């Protein structure tokens, strides 16, 4: 039937899967370059929609040449020296450092959420405060953070932690509450103490789902990091995008945006692989 592809039990063939999976990518790319060609035909000095050649040249310069504020490399510099002294490497390293520190600081949130869900007094003490704090728009705290911590690294990292931590705490809390109480009772009958139940029964069950939750919040983490870098920073991927925006440097901005998307995709892929390796029984979305 012609409408077979609309049925619940239909199974796409391998060719259909490949075609449909990449159709929107191909359509979007084709639409962009068609628009760029039309605009450049009308105005050769067009800068809003750079051509493929212009973006390739912009990315090449970013990946092999230093930033404007840095000293030029020697003419006889090797390829590795050019890469590690380039603007792209400098910005990627700065953003990656802040991102990694922020992700590490999210781990205590998982432990706190688990304790809130498992130990009644800890839950009573923290729950209402976390629920209220979760409703505060993190970006509204940015001026306060800059005043309290300055415009250095700490304020940017704290923005990410404040923006994402309440969500992770509440997710760990709800997942802990979802653990069947029969398993807790059974662990106690087998001689486990409170912390055995917490770390050997409950944490092992919620951990893969919490990792999945953190993975799904990667874009939120990067959003808060970009907000901090755009407002007050001297390096980083978002800082460079904001700086190039003033000069309409779309030939570099678009490759930078795609580079950020690629990095987040690779982090997401790595977290999926680690979760499958540590918890082969878990099936994530």
Alpha-carbon distance of 193 to 197, in angstroms, equals 6
- With a CB cutoff of 8 Å and minimum separation 6, the contacts of 127 are 116, 173
Q: Are residues 89 and 29 in the same domain?
A: no
- Does a structural domain hold residue 208? yes
Q: Are residues 147 and 274 in the same domain?
A: yes
The answer on pLDDT for 265 being more than 90 is yes
Q: Are residues 26 and 91 in the same domain?
A: no
Query: For residue 25, what are the domain limits?
Result: 12-49
**Percent of the chain scored above 90 by pLDDT?**
31
Q: Per residue in 149-186, pLDDT tens?
A: 777 778 888 888 888 999 999 999 999 998 888 888 88
Q: Are residues 34 and 167 in the same domain?
A: no
Q: Are residues 183 and 230 in the same domain?
A: yes
**pTM to 2 decimal places:** 0.85
Question: Can you tell me the mean pLDDT for 214-238?
Answer: 86
pLDDT recorded at residue 148: 82
- Does a structural domain hold residue 56? no
Q: Are residues 250 and 124 in the same domain?
A: yes
Q: Are residues 123 and 250 in the same domain?
A: yes
- Does a structural domain hold residue 60? no
Q: Per residue in 19-61, pLDDT tens?
A: 888 899 999 999 999 999 999 888 888 888 898 898 999 999 8
Q: How many domains does the chain have?
A: 2
Q: Per residue in 59-84, pLDDT tens?
A: 998 888 887 777 777 777 788 888 88
Q: Provide the token pair at 3.
A: 């409408």
Question: Can you tell me the mean pLDDT for 95-120?
Answer: 91
């Amino acid at each position: 039937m012609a409408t077979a592809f609309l049925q619940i039990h239909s199974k796409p063939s391998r060719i259909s899967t490949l075609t449909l999976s990449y159709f929107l990518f191909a359509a979007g790319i084709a639409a962009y370059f068609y628009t760029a060609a039309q605009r450049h035909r009308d105005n050769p000095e067009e800068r809003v929609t750079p051509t493929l050649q212009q973006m390739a040249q912009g990315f090449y310069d970013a990946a092999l040449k230093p930033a404007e504020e840095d000293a030029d490399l020697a003419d006889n510099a090797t390829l590795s020296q050019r890469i590690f002294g380039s603007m792209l490497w400098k910005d990627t390293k700065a953003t990656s450092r802040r991102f990694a520190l922020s992700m590490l600081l999210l781990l205590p949130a998982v432990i706190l959420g688990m304790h809130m869900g498992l130990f009644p007094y800890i839950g009573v003490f923290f729950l209402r405060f976390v629920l209220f704090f979760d409703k505060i728009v993190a970006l509204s705290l940015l001026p306060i953070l800059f005043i309290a911590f300055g415009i250095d690294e700490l304020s940017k990292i704290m923005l990410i932690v404040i923006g994402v931590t309440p969500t992770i705490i509440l997710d760990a809390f709800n997942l802990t509450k979802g653990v069947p109480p029969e398993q807790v009772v059974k662990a106690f009958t087998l001689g486990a103490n409170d912390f055995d139940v917490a770390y050997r029964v409950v944490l092992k069950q919620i951990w893969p789902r919490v990792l999945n939750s953190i993975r799904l919040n990667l874009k939120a983490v990067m959003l808060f990091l970009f907000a901090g870098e755009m407002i007050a920073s001297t390096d980083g991927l978002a800082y460079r995008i904001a700086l190039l925006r003033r000069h309409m440097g779309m030939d570099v901005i678009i490759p930078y945006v795609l580079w950020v998307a690629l990095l987040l995709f690779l982090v997401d892929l790595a977290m999926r692989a680690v979760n499958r390796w540590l918890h082969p029984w878990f099936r994530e979305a």
